[in-house]
């Protein structure tokens, strides 16, 4: 579902950065003609967003993301290192500063009532990221751990308050933050946002019917001519529906096999010829 044009009023509001503290909401209706059975995943997709730019990829501090007390002024986070008064940013860098911050809720129209689809916001990141690459500073509470720091300029709330419903999903170990920090190699990409909780009417997945996305629109894309999507998908034993990796493996394997045959043929042909050297 592309909601770039359907939320055009909010998009125009976000073009002016002075409106950062003004809330804007929009709704997108759609219909599922068939049931989506099994585990259902919700992704947000961005188009024309070049996360693979060299300076953008380098604009982070991995030591800071491990919860260490480091001098980020000497890091590659510039210009998103500190404010003019010297207060360091937590987290620093362009990647963190541009974190996707739209809020997307899904509602199901069942008979004459509207039911909010339960979505899981944790358990979506890789285990190695959650337990190895990202850690919070050690302190008796998270707000004191980040004392003396400030949120990045494009953020609406500090890093220790990203999830007001789950204290364990705050700081550098927040799932949404971790997933965003894993940059994409292409300008068009999707990131896992939520998983449908398989309870009540959704125990088998998403039933066919009428649905509505309620979106709190915060992430501007018009300046770089981007587009935003919400994707509902499921996976099978062989993986997801994106064919890129499968095609890449088949092409690479075929090229390697053909190269092997060519080299073998050249070797067998030259082996039959004997070369004599004379003094």
Task: Please tell me the predicted confidence (pLDDT) of residue 181.
Answer: 95
Give the C-alpha separation, 22 to 40, whole Å: 32
Task: Please tell me the predicted confidence (pLDDT) of residue 21.
Answer: 81
Q: Are residues 16 and 35 in the same domain?
A: yes
Would you give the DSSP letter of residue 137? Answer: P
Q: Are residues 169 and 82 in the same domain?
A: yes
Give the C-alpha separation, 88 to 72, whole Å: 8
Q: Are residues 176 and 268 in the same domain?
A: no
Q: Are residues 140 and 213 in the same domain?
A: yes
Q: Is 129 exposed, middle or buried (0-12, 13-18, 19+ CB in 10 A)?
A: middle
Task: Please tell me the predicted confidence (pLDDT) of residue 161.
Answer: 92
Give the C-alpha separation, 92 to 59, whole Å: 8
Q: What is the pLDDT of residues 46-91, one digit of tens each?
A: 999 999 999 999 999 999 999 988 888 888 898 999 999 989 999 9
Q: Are residues 220 and 260 in the same domain?
A: no
Give counts: helices (H), strands (E), the chain: 8, 10
Q: Are residues 36 and 166 in the same domain?
A: yes
Q: Give me the count of residues in the chain.
A: 279
Q: Are residues 144 and 273 in the same domain?
A: no
pTM of the model: 0.83
Q: Is 32 exposed, middle or buried (0-12, 13-18, 19+ CB in 10 A)?
A: middle
Give the C-alpha separation, 112 to 225, whole Å: 39
Task: Please tell me the predicted confidence (pLDDT) of residue 19.
Answer: 81
Per-residue pLDDT of the chain (279 residues; tens, 9 = 90+): 999 888 988 988 888 878 878 899 999 999 999 999 989 999 999 999 999 999 999 999 999 999 988 888 888 898 999 999 989 999 999 999 999 999 999 999 988 899 999 999 999 999 999 889 999 998 888 888 898 899 999 998 999 999 988 889 999 999 999 999 999 999 999 999 999 999 988 999 999 999 999 999 999 998 888 999 999 998 877 666 667 778 899 999 999 999 999 999 998 888 766 555 555
**Residue 272 is part of which domain span?**
244-278
Give the C-alpha separation, 46 to 190, whole Å: 6
Q: Are 64 and 82 in contact (CB under 8 A)?
A: no
Q: Are residues 31 and 127 in the same domain?
A: yes
If one counts the domains in the chain, the total is 2
Q: Are residues 248 and 207 in the same domain?
A: no
Q: Are residues 248 and 217 in the same domain?
A: no
Tokens 């986070």 belong to 77
Q: Per the structure block, which two tokens stand in for 197? A: 């909780």
Task: Please tell me the predicted confidence (pLDDT) of residue 30.
Answer: 93
For 55, phi then psi, to 5°, come to -70, -30
For 139, phi then psi, to 5°, come to -165, 170
Q: Is residue 2 part of a domain?
A: no
Cα distance from N-terminal residue to C-terminal residue, the chain: 78
What sign results for the dihedral spanned by CA atoms 149, 155, 157, 161? Answer: negative
Q: Are residues 258 and 195 in the same domain?
A: no
């Amino acid at each position: 579902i592309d909601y770039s044009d359907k939320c055009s009023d909010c998009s125009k509001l976000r073009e002016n950065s002075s409106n950062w503290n003004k809330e804007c909401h929009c709704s997108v209706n759609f219909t599922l003609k068939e049931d989506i059975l099994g585990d259902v995943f919700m992704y947000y997709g961005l188009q024309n967003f070049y996360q693979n730019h060299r300076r953008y990829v380098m604009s982070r501090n991995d030591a800071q993301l491990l919860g260490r007390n480091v001098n980020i002024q000497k890091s590659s986070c510039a210009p998103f290192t500190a404010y003019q008064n010297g207060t360091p940013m937590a987290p620093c860098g362009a990647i963190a500063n541009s974190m996707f911050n739209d809020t997307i809720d899904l509602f199901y129209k069942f008979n004459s009532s509207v039911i909010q689809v339960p979505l899981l916001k944790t358990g979506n990141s890789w285990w190695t990221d959650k337990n190895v690459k990202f850690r919070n500073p050690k302190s008796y509470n998270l707000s004191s751990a980040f004392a003396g720091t400030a949120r990045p300029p494009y953020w609406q709330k500090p890093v220790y308050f990203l999830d007001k419903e789950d204290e364990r999903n705050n700081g550098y170990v927040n799932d949404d933050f971790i997933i965003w920090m894993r940059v994409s190699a292409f300008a068009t990409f999707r990131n896992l946002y939520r998983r449908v909780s398989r309870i009540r009417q959704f125990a088998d997945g998403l039933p066919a019917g009428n649905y509505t996305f309620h979106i709190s629109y915060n992430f501007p894309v018009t300046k770089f001519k981007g587009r935003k999507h919400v994707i509902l998908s499921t996976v099978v034993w062989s993986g997801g529906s994106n064919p890129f990796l499968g095609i890449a493996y088949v092409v690479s394997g075929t090229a390697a096999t053909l190269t092997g045959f060519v080299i073998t043929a050249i070797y067998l042909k030259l082996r039959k010829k004997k070369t004599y050297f004379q003094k």
